[in-house]
Structure 1
Amino acid sequence: MEENNSNLTPEETGDIDRILPVSIETEMKTAYIDYSMSVIVGRALPDVRDGFKPVHRRVLYGMNELGNNSNKPYKKAARIVGEVMGKYHPHGDSSIYFTIVRMAQDFTMRYPLVDGQGNFGNQDGDPPAAMRYTEVRLEKIAEAMLEDIEKDTVDFQLNFDDSLEEPAVLPTRIPQLLLNGSSGIAVGMATNMMPHNLSEVIDGCIAYIDNKEITVEELMRHVKAPDFPTGGIIFGMDGVRQAMLTGRGRVMVRGKCHIETEKSGKEKIIITEVPYQVGLDALTDKIGQLASNKIVDGISYVNNESSKREGIRIVVELKRDAVSSVVINQLYKYSELQTSFGINNVAICKGRPRTLNLKQLIQEFIEFRMEVITRRTRFELRKAQEREHLLKGYLIALDNIDEVISIIRASANPEAAKENLVAAQFRLKNSQIIRLLGEETANEFLDEVQAKAILEMRLQRLTGMERDKIRDEYLELMKTIERLKQLLADEGLRYDVIKTELLEIKTKFGDERKSSIEYNADDISIEDLIEEEDVVVTISHLGYIKRTPVSEYRQQRRGGRGGKGVATREEDYVEHLFVPSTHDTMMFFTEKGRLFWLKVYEIPEGEKNTKGRAVQNLIQIPGDDKVRTIINVKKLTDEEYVKNHFIVLCTRKGIIKKTALQDFSRPRATGVNAITINEGDQLLEAIVTDGNSEIMLAVKSGRAIRFPEEKVRPTGRGAIGVTGIEVDDETDEVIGMISVNKNDKEKTVLVVSEKGYGKRTPLTDEDGEDVYRITNRGGKGVKTINITEKTGKLVGILDVTEKQDLIITCKSGITLRTGVASIKEAGRNTQGVILMRLDNGDEIAAISKIEEQEDEDAAGEDEAISSTENNNLPEQTSNDDNTLPDNESQSINN
C-alpha cells in the first residue's frame, strides 16, 4: 500500500528547494503586463504593415491555403471557421465567423475582402445567418494582399501548438490599414482608424516615394479625408486635418438628403445616405421619437422604405407649414443623421503600439513594401540561379550526349550513374554552347544536382526542338538574373517597382469617393474667398449698418444736390460713414466706452438706397448702448504692428485717452471695456496712431486745438483719460478728432459746418509757419472756422489730400460725393464755401473721405437725384434679421 504524503510538510518531502518566495505586488504587475501586451499585440491592435489583426490575417491565410480563391467555387463559412480555428486561431468559432462576416459586408468595409453568398446582415441592423448557411470565398483585392507569400517575402511563426507555421504578416500590395481602417479596445489603449479611398491613398504613397520630405499638408492634397462605405457628407475638415497631422482627431459625418415636393405642395425629406455604422431602423425610430416628443416640429410621418433594388430611402413627411431646411438642421442636431467619430490611429509598429499620423502610416507601408520587394527579389534570384545551374548541366549533357548515355548504360544503378557522371570530365564541342556558357567552361565537371537532373531528364528533351528551347530558356534566364541583380543593387529601381505595382492596383481596384466633403466656416479662411476691395460702411442714427461698393457712389461737382444714399425712417438718418477694405477688422466703440470687433466682409451687403441690418444683430451690444465710432485696422494679427501702434479715444466733453493697440488685439464676442466714461459724457471718436503724431480736437463752437501725442501717456483699457480740450459750456462739445504730422505737406485740415459750408486749411502757411500752433493739451485752442447763423455749428473735421474724395451725408439720407481738390483752401478765420445745398431743415450728419476712383465719370447736378424723393421705407411687419431689439423698436414707435 502506497504511503499518503499529502499531509507532509515541504521539509519532510524534500521539496523545500523548489519553493521560491515572491512579492504578490511584483507578481501581479508582471502577470498583468504580460496579459496586457498579449491583448495589445495579439488581439486588439492591427499591424501597421498589413493593417490586420491576427484573426483577420489567419482567416485570409486559411482561405488561401484551402484554395478558396475568387475563381473557385464558394465554400461553406463553417468549413473556413473550422479550418482557421483548428489550425491557427483557437479562440472560439464566433470570433472567427463574425470576422468573416465583417469582411464580407460592403456597408462595413470600404473594400470588402470576402465574397459572401447568403445573408450577411444589413444596414437595418438584422444579424447574419448562421455559418452553416452562408458561403464565402476570397475577393480579388484580398488575393492581392496574399500575393508572393510563397516567395519568402514575410516571416513565418509557429502556430499555437507548434504543429504548423503561419505568417507573422501578409505581404500586402495594398495599404490596407488606410483603406479599411480598424477599431479595437486593448488594455489601457484603443484604436479607431477611418477607411479611405484607394485611389487617393495610392496617389499619396506615390507622392511620398517621389519626395520623402513631403509634408502632411502636401499629402492631404492627395488623401483628402476619410471615405466611408456608406457615403455621407464629411462636414468640416478641422478635426480631419488634426487627425492627419497628429493621429488623433474627430470627423463629423452627416447623412445625405434632398427635398421632394408632392403635387399638393407638401414636402418630403428623402434620406439616401446615412453616417457610417448608423442603422437605418434605429435612425427611423429615433426620428419618430423626436417627432412624437415634439423635440422636432414639422414632421407628420417617417418610414424606412429602403430595399436592395432602390437602395437607402428613409422618407420623412413634413407638415404643410414646416420649413424643410429647419427640420433638416434639427435632425442633424438631435438624431444620428449627424454623427462624430473619434480618430485614434494606434497600430503595432516594430513590435510596439504607436500613434501615427498620415505620413507615418504611408512611410511604414512603403518601408514594408521595400522589404517585401527586396526579399522577393532575392528569392527569385536564388531560384533563377538554381534553374540556371540545372540548364547549364543540361547543355553540357546535350553536347556530350553519346558519352553521357554510355556512362549511364555502363552503371549498375542510378546512384552509380550519378557518381560516374560527377566523376566524368566533359569537353564542350558545340561552338554555340561554348559561346553561351563561356570559354572557361570548355572542360566542365557536373555536380550531384546537375547529374541527378540529367538522370531524371525525359528522352523527349533530346530532340532538336527541345534542345533549342533549353538554349532559349538559358538565354532568357541570364537576362532575368542580370535584371534581378540590378534591382537588388539599386534602391531607386525597387521604388519604381513599388510605384508600378501600386498603379496596377489603382487601375484594377480604384474607384471614386463615396463620401463628399463639405467645408464649414472654421475650415477655410473666408478672406481667401472674399475679393479685397474698398466698400462704404454706413451706420444710421438708430443703429442700422450695411456695406456698399464704392462704385455705387458717383462723383459729382462741388455744390451738387447729391443722390439718395440710404433709405431711412423719418426719425432716422446716417450718422457714421466709413470706407474700409473688405479684409479689414472693424472696431466698434460704443457711447459707453465698450469695444466690439467685426470683419468688414461679415457686415451685410446692401444697395445704396437700402437701410441695412441692425447692429445689435451682428454684435452683442447692450440695449441701452449704441455704436458711436468705428475704426478699421488692416493688421490686427501682425504682432509687430500692434506693438508699435496706439488707439487714441476722445469724448464729447474733451477727455482724451491713449492705449496700446496690443491691448485690443484679441477679439471677444462679448466685447471689452475701452475707456471708463464719466457720468453725462459719451465716447465720440477713436483713431489709430503710431505714437509720433499730433492730435487735433475740434468743438462745435468752431475752435480746434493741436498738441503732440506724446503729451498723452499710454494707459490701460479701464482708465478714464485726461483733458484734451477745454469745452466752453454745456451747449458746446467736441465734434471730431484727427491725427496730423507737420512733415506731411500734402495734407490739409477739412472742416464742414452743419448747413453745408466747408473749407480746407493747410497746416503751414507760405512762410512755413504753423497755421494751427502746437500747444499743450487742455487749452482752448484757436478758431478753425468762422461760425455764423448762415453756416451753423461745426459738425466735422478731417485730414485730407487732393487725391481723395469727400462723401457728405445729411440727416435726410441724401449723399454727395465730390473731389477734395475741388474744395477751396482758405484761412482759419473764414466760413468756407457751399459744399452741399440742403433743403430747409436738413443738416449735415456725417462726412468721410475715400481715395479718388479715376474710372468714374463726374456727373453734373442734372444727374443728381432730387432730395424731394420719398426716402422712407414702409414699416416692416415680418420678423427678420433687420428688426431691432424691443427697446429700440419702442423708441421708433414712440
Structure 2
Amino acid sequence: MVKKAEIKNLSLASVMDERFSRYSKSIIQERALPDVRDGLKPVQRRILYSMNKDGNTFDKGFRKSAKSVGNVMGNFHPHGDSSIYDAMVRMSQSWKLREPTIDMHGNNGSMDGDPPAAMRYTEARLSKISGEMLRDIDKDTVDWVLNFDDTESEPTVLPARIPNLLINGATGISAGYATEIPPHNLGEVIDALIYLQEHPDATLNDLMQFIKGPDFPTGGIVQGLDGIKQAYESGHGKVMIRSKSTIENLRGGKELVKITEIPYEVNKSQLVKQIDEIRINKKIDGIAEIRDDSDRSGLTISLELKRDADVKGILNYLYKNTDLQISYNFNVVAIKDMRPQRLGLKNILQTYLDYQRDVLTKRTKFDLKKAQDRQHIVEGLIKALSILDSVIKTIRASSNRKDARDNLVSEYQFTEKQADAIVALQLYRLTNTDVTKLRQENSDLAVKIAEFENILANSNELDKVLQTELLEIKNEYQSPRRSKIEAEIENIKISKKVVVPDEQVMVMISRDGYLKRSSIRSFKASELNDNGIKDEDRPVLIKKLSTRDNIFIFTDGGNLIYKPVFEINEVKWKDTGEHISQLNGLDSKEKIIAAFDFSNLKQSGSFLITTRFGNIKQTEFSKLLPGRTYKTRASMYEKFKTDEDSVINVEYLEAGDVKDVLVMTEAGLALRYNLNEVSVSGARTTGVKAINLGDNDKVVNSQVVTENSQIAIIFQNGNFKKIEVAEIPVTSRARKGIKVLRDLKTRENLIGNFTKINADDIMLRVYTDHLNGHDIILGEHNLSNRTSNGSAEINVETDGVPTSIEHLLINEIELINTK
C-alpha cells in the first residue's frame, strides 16, 4: 500500500534553526576549519590521501593535475573541481605555505595574484615532506570512515608526523567561525615540542624561548612581541608585518630603496601600483621611479628616490598608506574534540604530542602483531625443516593442499597458519642456508618483539621514540628563520616634508570667505586687480607662502578655521577659489576678519581677541591647535554672552611682548592699558571686560600699540585724522576711557574705525557701508590733537558711511618682486 504524504505544521523559525544548525556544523567540520591534529581541512586531507593512494609521490614522476583532481572528486570529495584544484594550487605555493605539501610543474600562480594555469596544463605530485604527513597510515594509526557513496574508506585524520597546523598555518571562514593561523618555523616548533615533552609544566614563556613568533614564507619584519604573546596565550592577538628593505647610494646624491621581502599574502603587483599612484598623484615628494625588478633570483621592488629625498620619511609614509606594512590578526581556531575551539600555543603543542603518542602506540601495536605473526610462521618453518623427511612424506600422502595442511596440523601439532606456510614453502628453500636465515630472522624478530613490548609497557620509551623521530624530521627538513621578530611596534610619524613638496605659491583669503592658492607663474601672468574675487568682497590675506605653511582663519562669529596651505585648492589667480561654507558650524553671514600664517604648529605666542560688546582675552596658540575634524568642522575660539556680539579684531602676539592695548568705542572713548592686564584663557571662554561701555555704545576696534605708535581714525561723517598714541594716557582695564573727539551740538559725532599706522604704510584704505573703497594717502595729513574732529575725506552722501580702515596688502605683494 502506498504511504500517503504527511503534512506537519511546524514553525518557520524552528525549521530554519534546525536546518541552519546542520548546515553550520557541516561547513565548520567538513569544509572551512582545520583539525588541530594534522592541521588540514577535509579537502586538503583528501587530496594528500588520494594522491598517496594513487602512488603520486615525490619519488615518482609528475602526473596531470586534472587526474588527481578527478580522483579526489570522484572518490572522496563530491564538490566542484575548481575548489579542489584551488586547494591543490595553494598547497603548492611557496609564498603561501612555509613547507609546501604539493610539488607542481607549470604555472601555479604568482605573488602578483596571477591565476594558475588550468589543471589540464599543470602537473603535480606530493612533496617529500608530505610523505611525513602520510607515513604509517597503513599501520592502523588512524580511524577510517566510508566515503560519500560507501564504496571506499578514507582517513578521518592523517598520522601527520610533522606539526602541520603551526608550520603551514591555516585560513578559513565558516558559519560563525573564522580562523587565521600564521605559519611557523619547523625547527623551532619541534624544539618546543621536545621541551614540552620533557617539561609538561612548561610555561608560555618557556615555550617562547624556542618559538619566537610566526615565520612567514615571504619573510618580513614582525613587530609586536606583546601581540604575539597574547595570541599564543589566548589564540587572539595582533602584530604588524613590515617589508624588509635595503638602501643603496646612486650617483648624483640619489638613493635606491630595494624592497626584498613583503608582508604575508600581500599582492606584489598591487603594492607596486599603490606606490606608483602615490608618486603620480604627488601625495609625497621624493619618489622618482618605482620598478618591479623581481626575477628568478627572488623578489625585488626598486624605489628610486630624487636627490636629497628623506628616505626614512618616505618609507614611513608608505608603511602607513600602502601594504608595505600591514596588521596581522591571529585568530587560532581549529577543530579539537569534534568542535571548533580557540587554542593557545601550549594547547596546540600538547594536543599534537598526545596525538603523536597515540599514533606511535597504534603503530607499535601493529608492528608488534606483525612481528609476532611472522615469528610464529618462522618457528613453524624451523620445526618443519627439523623433521623435513616426515613432513614431505605426509604432504606426498595427502590428496590436496587442504588435506596436506590438515594432516600437518593433526600429526605434528602445527597451527593452521604454520601449516599453510609449510605447504607453500618452495623446494629451493630446503637448504641449510635457509635454515640459518630463518634462525637469524627468528632471533631478530625476538629482539624486535621485546623492543615493541617495552615501548608499549613504558611511556618513557615511547617518548624516546617520538623524540628521536621528531629530531630526524627536524634534521631533514628544517630551514633558517625568514621573518625577523621585533619587540615593539614602531610608532610611525610622517613628516610634512615628505607628504608636501616645498613649493612657493600665492595664497589669497577674502573677507567673504573665499580661499585659493595659485602658482607664482599664474600670479605673474595676471593683472594685480584681476584676483577673481567679487567687487563687493576684499582680500584679508594676500601672501607668498610655502605649501608646508599653516593658516589660521578667524571669523567674526568666533569660529577658527585651520588650513594647511597644501590643502587649499590650487586654481588660476583670476579664479575665485573655494568657499569656507563647506565647513559645518558656520553661519552664512560670518565674515573673515583675520588670517595668520605659521611655518609650524609649535608657536609660543598668543592671540589677542576683542569683541564688539567690550570683552577681551588672550588665548595661547597651543590652545587653538587643530583637531582631527578640522577638515569638516570649524573650532570655537570665542564664546559670546549674547547672540548679537561678534569679534572685531584678532592680533597675534609673540611670547614676551610688553606692549599696550588700545580700545576705542563708537562714541569716541579710548582706553589704553598694559597687555598684562588681559588675562590668558581658553578657547571656549568670553574673556574679561575690555572697557566700560556706556548705553548703546560699542567697541569699533582694538590695537596693540607702543608709546611711539600713531593711529589713524576714520569718523562716520567721513572725516579723517592721525594722532599719536602718547596722547592717550595709560590707565587700567575696564575703565570708561577718554574722548578722542569733540562732541557736536547739532548731531552725533561717531567713530567708524581706527587702526595703528605701521612704519612702512604709505596709504590706508577705508571701506564704507556701500562696500566702496577709498584710499587715504597718509603723507597728505598732519598729526592732529586728541580732541580734534579731523578733516573731511569721504563724501558719505555718495560713498556711504565708513565702517573700517585697513592696511593695503601691497606690502606682501611687493616682496614677490613681480610687478
Tell me the TM-score normalised to structure 1 length. 0.54
2:86 partner SS: helix
1:439-478 aligned at under 5 Å gives the runs 445-478=413-446
1:198-217 aligned at under 5 Å gives the runs 198-217=186-205
2:340 partner SS: strand
Question: Quick check: 2:180–2:329 contact (8 Å CA) kept in 1?
Answer: yes
Alignment match, 1:322: 309
Alpha-carbon shift at residue 18 of structure 1 (Å)? 4.2
User: How far does the alpha carbon of each residue in 1:544-599 deviate from its partner, in whole angstroms, 9 at most, with x for none?
Assistant: xxxxxxxxxxxxxxxxxxxxxxxxxxxxxxxxxxxxxxxxxxxxxxxxxxxxxxxx
Question: Quick check: 1:274–1:337 contact (8 Å CA) kept in 2?
Answer: yes
Alpha-carbon shift at residue 229 of structure 1 (Å)? 0.5
Question: Quick check: 1:63–1:80 contact (8 Å CA) kept in 2?
Answer: yes
| Alpha-carbon distance change, 388 to 287 in structure 1, aligned in 2, over 3 angstroms | same
Question: Quick check: 2:223–2:490 contact (8 Å CA) kept in 1?
Answer: no
Whole-Å Cα distance in 2 between the matches of residues 383 and 621 of structure 1? Answer: 87
Question: Quick check: 1:238–1:522 contact (8 Å CA) kept in 2?
Answer: no
Alignment match, 1:230: 218
Question: Quick check: 1:197–1:226 contact (8 Å CA) kept in 2?
Answer: yes
User: How far does the alpha carbon of each residue in 1:584-642 deviate from its partner, in whole angstroms, 9 at most, with x for none?
Assistant: xxxxxxxxxxxxxxxxxxxxxxxxxxxxxxxxxxxx99979xxxxxxxxxxxxxxxxxx
Whole-Å Cα distance in 2 between the matches of residues 392 and 271 of structure 1? Answer: 69
| Greater relative CO, 1 or 2 (CA 8 Å, sep 6+) | 1
1:303-702 aligned at under 5 Å gives the runs 303-309=291-297, 311-425=298-412, 445-520=413-488
1:48-67 aligned at under 5 Å gives the runs 48-67=36-55
Alpha-carbon shift at residue 67 of structure 1 (Å)? 0.6
1:90 is aligned, of 71, 74, 78, to 78
1:246-265 aligned at under 5 Å gives the runs 246-265=234-253
Whole-Å Cα distance in 2 between the matches of residues 623 and 14 of structure 1? Answer: 97
Residue type at the aligned position of 1:299: I
Residue type at the aligned position of 1:490: N
Alpha-carbon shift at residue 522 of structure 1 (Å)? 8.5
Q: Tell me whether 1:111 sits opposite 2:76 in the alignment.
A: no
User: How far does the alpha carbon of each residue in 1:462-521 deviate from its partner, in whole angstroms, 9 at most, with x for none?
Assistant: 100001000110111011111111100111111111111110000000011001112227
Identity percentage over the alignment?
47
Residue type at the aligned position of 1:282: Q
Residue type at the aligned position of 1:512: P
2:138 partner SS: helix
| Alpha-carbon distance change, 17 to 336 in structure 1, aligned in 2, over 3 angstroms | closer
Alignment match, 1:25: 13
2:158 partner SS: coil
Alpha-carbon shift at residue 87 of structure 1 (Å)? 0.6
| Alpha-carbon distance change, 446 to 229 in structure 1, aligned in 2, over 3 angstroms | same
Whole-Å Cα distance in 2 between the matches of residues 416 and 20 of structure 1? Answer: 66
Question: Quick check: 2:65–2:120 contact (8 Å CA) kept in 1?
Answer: yes
Whole-Å Cα distance in 2 between the matches of residues 14 and 329 of structure 1? Answer: 77
Alpha-carbon shift at residue 24 of structure 1 (Å)? 2.8
Alignment match, 1:153: 141
1:339 partner SS: strand
Alpha-carbon shift at residue 14 of structure 1 (Å)? 8.1
Whole-Å Cα distance in 1 between the matches of residues 251 and 14 of structure 2? Answer: 77
Residue type at the aligned position of 2:426: R
Whole-Å Cα distance in 1 between the matches of residues 99 and 404 of structure 2? Answer: 58
Alignment match, 1:133: 121
| Alpha-carbon distance change, 521 to 284 in structure 1, aligned in 2, over 3 angstroms | closer
2:252 partner SS: coil
Alpha-carbon shift at residue 25 of structure 1 (Å)? 2.1
Alpha-carbon shift at residue 121 of structure 1 (Å)? 1.2
Whole-Å Cα distance in 2 between the matches of residues 521 and 308 of structure 1? Answer: 32
1:172 partner SS: coil
1:90 partner SS: coil
Alpha-carbon shift at residue 292 of structure 1 (Å)? 2.4
Whole-Å Cα distance in 2 between the matches of residues 288 and 450 of structure 1? Answer: 79
Residue type at the aligned position of 1:36: S
Alignment match, 2:638: none
Alpha-carbon shift at residue 126 of structure 1 (Å)? 1.4
Residue type at the aligned position of 1:275: P
Whole-Å Cα distance in 2 between the matches of residues 297 and 333 of structure 1? Answer: 15
Whole-Å Cα distance in 2 between the matches of residues 522 and 115 of structure 1? Answer: 38
Whole-Å Cα distance in 1 between the matches of residues 94 and 489 of structure 2? Answer: 33
Question: Quick check: 1:74–1:137 contact (8 Å CA) kept in 2?
Answer: yes
Question: Quick check: 1:346–1:356 contact (8 Å CA) kept in 2?
Answer: yes
Whole-Å Cα distance in 2 between the matches of residues 180 and 424 of structure 1? Answer: 61
Whole-Å Cα distance in 1 between the matches of residues 316 and 192 of structure 2? Answer: 35
Please provide the CA RMSD for this pair: 1.7
Alpha-carbon shift at residue 251 of structure 1 (Å)? 1.9
User: How far does the alpha carbon of each residue in 1:642-679 deviate from its partner, in whole angstroms, 9 at most, with x for none?
Assistant: xxxxxxxxxxxxxxxxxxxxxxxxxxxxxxxxxxxxxx
| Alpha-carbon distance change, 120 to 414 in structure 1, aligned in 2, over 3 angstroms | same
User: How far does the alpha carbon of each residue in 1:191-226 deviate from its partner, in whole angstroms, 9 at most, with x for none?
Assistant: 000000000000110010010110111101100000
| Alpha-carbon distance change, 304 to 473 in structure 1, aligned in 2, over 3 angstroms | same
Alignment match, 1:177: 165
Residue type at the aligned position of 1:320: R
Whole-Å Cα distance in 2 between the matches of residues 247 and 491 of structure 1? Answer: 30
Alpha-carbon shift at residue 313 of structure 1 (Å)? 1.3
Whole-Å Cα distance in 1 between the matches of residues 490 and 262 of structure 2? Answer: 24
Whole-Å Cα distance in 1 between the matches of residues 266 and 13 of structure 2? Answer: 44
Question: Quick check: 1:296–1:331 contact (8 Å CA) kept in 2?
Answer: no
Question: Quick check: 1:70–1:137 contact (8 Å CA) kept in 2?
Answer: yes
Q: Tell me whether 1:142 sits opposite 2:130 in the alignment.
A: yes
Whole-Å Cα distance in 2 between the matches of residues 205 and 417 of structure 1? Answer: 56
Residue type at the aligned position of 1:501: E
Question: Quick check: 2:223–2:489 contact (8 Å CA) kept in 1?
Answer: no
User: How far does the alpha carbon of each residue in 1:382-405 deviate from its partner, in whole angstroms, 9 at most, with x for none?
Assistant: 111111111111111111111111
Residue type at the aligned position of 1:398: L
1:38 partner SS: helix
Whole-Å Cα distance in 2 between the matches of residues 281 and 415 of structure 1? Answer: 74
| Alpha-carbon distance change, 162 to 622 in structure 1, aligned in 2, over 3 angstroms | farther
Alpha-carbon shift at residue 17 of structure 1 (Å)? 8.2
Residue type at the aligned position of 2:395: I
2:378 partner SS: helix
Alpha-carbon shift at residue 124 of structure 1 (Å)? 1.8
User: How far does the alpha carbon of each residue in 1:723-769 deviate from its partner, in whole angstroms, 9 at most, with x for none?
Assistant: xxxxxxxxxxxxxxxxxxxxxxxxxxxxxxxxxxxxxxxxxxxxxxx
Question: Quick check: 2:240–2:489 contact (8 Å CA) kept in 1?
Answer: no
1:221 partner SS: coil
Alpha-carbon shift at residue 21 of structure 1 (Å)? 3.8
| Alpha-carbon distance change, 356 to 63 in structure 1, aligned in 2, over 3 angstroms | same
Q: Tell me whether 1:167 sits opposite 2:155 in the alignment.
A: yes
| Alpha-carbon distance change, 398 to 514 in structure 1, aligned in 2, over 3 angstroms | same
Tell me the TM-score normalised to structure 2 length. 0.59
1:467 partner SS: helix
Question: Quick check: 2:252–2:307 contact (8 Å CA) kept in 1?
Answer: no
Q: Tell me whether 1:34 sits opposite 2:2 in the alignment.
A: no
User: How far does the alpha carbon of each residue in 1:276-326 deviate from its partner, in whole angstroms, 9 at most, with x for none?
Assistant: 1112211111001122233222112111111113x1111112121311111
